Amino acid sequence: MPDSPKKRPDQPIRRPTSARDAVSAVKMSEKLTAEIDAWAEAHGMVRSDAIGQLVMLGLSVRPVEVAPAAAPGGPVELKDLAARQISQLLDPSLPADERERRIRRLIEGPPEFSAERKDLPKPRK
């Protein structure tokens, strides 16, 4: 951003002549204001110029593309992941067959709703 022209002592204060020239008031927390003031002091400028500089810096930075976390590949991997998570939550004192029954029921769902599931093949009539 080019440096703003220096104001001469005999030059009158320029008031905004249109809505485009005016800047709306911005509410900032005291902490943010203090950080801006510290940045302005470190760079030898006043708060309003610092805010302008920081906005220009923020607008010039390109957003970083964040790759989404890789999800497990297929339904079998998802089912295994769900079974591991559920087994960690179950009471370890349960018998093994009861643990398996509970895991299976939670993963596959109650049999009453198997006709409603969209991920299962529809039975032939």
For the cut 60, the answer to whether the pLDDT of residue 5 exceeds it is no
The pLDDT assigned to 17 comes to 59
The pLDDT assigned to 36 comes to 92
Joined tokens for residue 5:
């022209």
The pLDDT assigned to 4 comes to 54
3 state SS of 112: helix
Q: Which amino acid is at 28?
A: M
Q: Which amino acid is at 30?
A: E
3 state SS of 50: helix
Q: Which of these, 90, 73, 79, lies nearest to 120 by C-alpha position?
A: 79
The pLDDT assigned to 20 comes to 55
Distance separating alpha carbons of residues 107 and 90, to the nearest angstrom: 14
For the cut 60, the answer to whether the pLDDT of residue 115 exceeds it is yes
Distance separating alpha carbons of residues 55 and 45, to the nearest angstrom: 15
Average pLDDT estimate for 85-113: 88
Average pLDDT estimate for 103-115: 81
Residue 8 — very low, low, confident or very high, per pLDDT cuts 50/70/90? low
Distance separating alpha carbons of residues 12 and 46, to the nearest angstrom: 19
Q: What is the mean pLDDT of the chain?
A: 80
Q: Which of these, 121, 119, 122, lies nearest to 82 by C-alpha position?
A: 119
Quick: pLDDT tens for 18-70: 555 555 677 889 999 999 999 999 999 999 899 999 999 989 888 888 777 76
Helices (H), 61-122: 75-89, 96-108
